[in-house]
A = this chain, B = another copy of it.
Amino acid sequence: MSIEYIENLGRNAKSAAPLIAGSETAKKNEALSEIARRINQNTREIIAANTIDIENARKNGMSEAMIDRLTLTEKRISVMAEGIGQVVALPDPIGTLLSEKTLPNGLNVKKIRVPMGVIGIIFESRPNVTVDAAALCFKAGSAVILRGGSDAINSNKFLVGLMRKTIADFGFPEDCIQLVEDTSHETANEMMRLNRYIDLLIPRGSGRLIRAVIENSTVPVIQTGEGNCHVFVDESADLDMAVNIINNAKTQRPSVCNAIESILIHEKIAEQFFAKLDECWHGKVAIVGDKRTSDLINVERLAEEADYGTEYLDLRLSSKIVSSVDEAISHINKYGTMHSECIVTNSDENAAKFQCAVDAAAVYVNASTRFTDGFELGLGAEIGISTQKLHARGPMGLEEITTYKYLISGNGQIRG
């Protein structure tokens, strides 16, 4: 039963995809702008739908932190609508001529950017992802199948209904944007096997969700979001800068993927550094440290190996004292998730070595890892932050959810 349900969504998306693929930028932008307007106009109705989700969540004993992520307020709804405006303002990647040449035999070869086709997104609670992701896929010329969490189903139904109605009013097939309303595990699992219809699957959410998708998907996947990020404080570092960066990267928003989870401190400056860190934090952040860290600062407990691979997403981090930039690089390449990594140093040589050898999407010298974000890096709105090496790395904006094809024109050329 649910296989048929999902296959039907897949078929609908595949049929709708060519009709949005060839659309003019202005037409897509008009529809998106109208979605933003109607979201603002329907604030009350959105909050009503969201209230049902919140009441159900309370009944189900959801934690207040999770309920907060689920909640749509007037302010959050207006930010959601603004987000669409930002997508409208981005240049349309579709149709860009990436290269062109004429071969000696007269064949003209153009490489042009084209839409991905059908994009599937599996995500968890936050209903604003529904609107962000749909807007990005729509602008990038792809049909999207959204599979949000059951917690947000009423909010998502309302928002997707509003978007479908709006794009239909502008002459687009409403199946350019579809919601998987059956939020059973089966439908998520079946989406992962729908490679006949889905060209790209993006999981957004917990490490557990992402691993399940990698394990089960036959659809090409882009991994996003798991961030076990480090700051390495080199022996030549400006220690005030190091504390300032670490404080920002850990405490400004501890629950996000570009927050740091671990610090590596060069042994030569460790004592001075921890004295300064303690002045800044006064125990505000729990430190799970190796033996040498524990000799210099109060630790919550001694670190076990598992700690170095843990994304705490909380006011807690692991700490290790190292004897060289090489040891720091090895540690990061062993335990990191290839997201965002930072060295604080005054040595150009160590900075270059670190940027070259650390295997991550974004490698920083003397700046907070919190900048790994589409808007912060000037790429515009993003659909996620890729932590794999295939197709896209780091923040994924519009270009990163497109593909290309070769258009080859001749006058009868055959191969000799």
Contact = CB atoms under 8 A, between A and B. Distances in A.
Contact of A410 (B356, B364, B378): B364
A187 B200 CA distance: 28
Given A215-B218, A357-B22, A405 B394 contact: yes
Given A107-B371, A218-B215, A409 B361 contact: no
A85 interface: no
Given A245-B412, A393-B403, 6 more contacts: A103-B378, A241-B411, A244-B414, A367-B411, A370-B415, A393-B404
Interface of A is mostly: mixed
13 contacts: A21-B357, A103-B378, A199-B390, A244-B414, A351-B409, A361-B406, A363-B407, A364-B408, A365-B409, A367-B414, A370-B415, A391-B391, A394-B406
Nearest to A200: B390
Contact of A248 (B117, B215, B238, B414): B414
Given A195-B214, A220-B388, A393-B403, A238 B412 contact: yes
B393 A405 contact: yes
Interface in A220-246: 220-222, 238, 241, 244-245
Interface residues of A, number: 66
B238 A415 contact: no
Interface in A361-416: 361-368, 370-372, 376-378, 388-391, 393-394, 403-415
A89 B161 CA distance: 56
A220 B409 contact: no
Given A405-B362, A412-B244, A357 B18 contact: yes
Given A412-B241, A415-B248, A355 B220 contact: no
A250 to B, nearest CB: 11
Contact of A355 (B222, B244, B407): B407
